[in-house]
Homo-oligomer: A and B are copies of this chain.
Amino acid sequence: MSKIRVLLVDDHQLLRDGLAAMLSNIEHITVVGSAGSGEEAVNMAQEKVPDVILMDIMMGGMTGIEATRWIKEQNANIKVIIISQEVNQGLIGEGIKSGIEGYLPKDVDKTTLVNAINKVNAGEKFFSESITKIIFDSYYQQETGEQKSKAKNKDLTKREMEVLKEVATGKTNQEVADTLFISIKTVETHKSHILDKLGLKNTAELVKYAIKNEIIEL
């Protein structure tokens, strides 16, 4: 029985080294390499041909999702487990579309991690409980015909993007109205549509979204 060949991808070397050291204690797993970026990961996947890749989703440059797409194009047999610091609905959807086999939050324990590697290597999928719930919820939403959420979700109109930008920089509705030369009522309408489309709850989440998606700068 040959060992499971694992490739680690994370832009934090500390976490990579740690994972490597941790997995070195597991007999049936061998770490064949570690990459510090998505680009490096794509190259190493081709070179080392691992069975399973543990991939961070948030990296400087190419994201884990993008890297996964490239890798899967080259070799669809390589299994990818995404590791993310926060459970994110949008990213999970993206990841699943890219064909990932597993998705784990960064606070998983060692046994769960090893378990996930085993399962995925055996051809199964592995998603933690919280992730599974999100997937089912999302699936349920699609089935109940809330296609708006999917189709319209990330497609903000030009004007909505402008409003989002202004609001996220800290302006009140009235100030946004003055800036864009429209009524406060229009701003409210746009804002309501934005929160609706993005599935956000309030201004605080909106600001975080704007920063995360580089709509505004810090």
What is the interface of chain A, defined by CB distance below 8 A to chain B?
11-15, 17-22, 24-25, 83, 85-86, 106-110, 113, 167-172, 200-208, 211-212, 217-218
Contact = CB atoms under 8 A, between A and B. Distances in A.
Contact of A108 (B14, B83, B108): B14
Nearest to A10: B107
Contacts of A202: 170, 172, 203
Given A18-B19, A212-B218, A217-B86, A12 B168 contact: no
A194 to B, nearest CB: 13
Contacts of A212: 218
Contacts of A203: 202-204, 207
Contact of A15 (B14, B205, B217): B14
Nearest to A205: B170
How many identical chains are in the complex? 2
Given A24-B21, A217-B85, A14 B107 contact: yes
Contacts of A107: 11-14
A22 B17 contact: yes
B18 A109 contact: no
Given A18-B21, A85-B217, A208-B218, A12 B170 contact: no
Given A17-B18, A168-B204, A212-B218, 5 more contacts: A14-B107, A85-B217, A167-B204, A170-B200, A211-B218
Contact of A208 (B25, B200, B207): B207
Nearest to A14: B106
Nearest to A209: B218
Given A14-B15, A15-B18, A207-B208, A201 B106 contact: no
A169 B204 contact: yes
A191 to B, nearest CB: 12
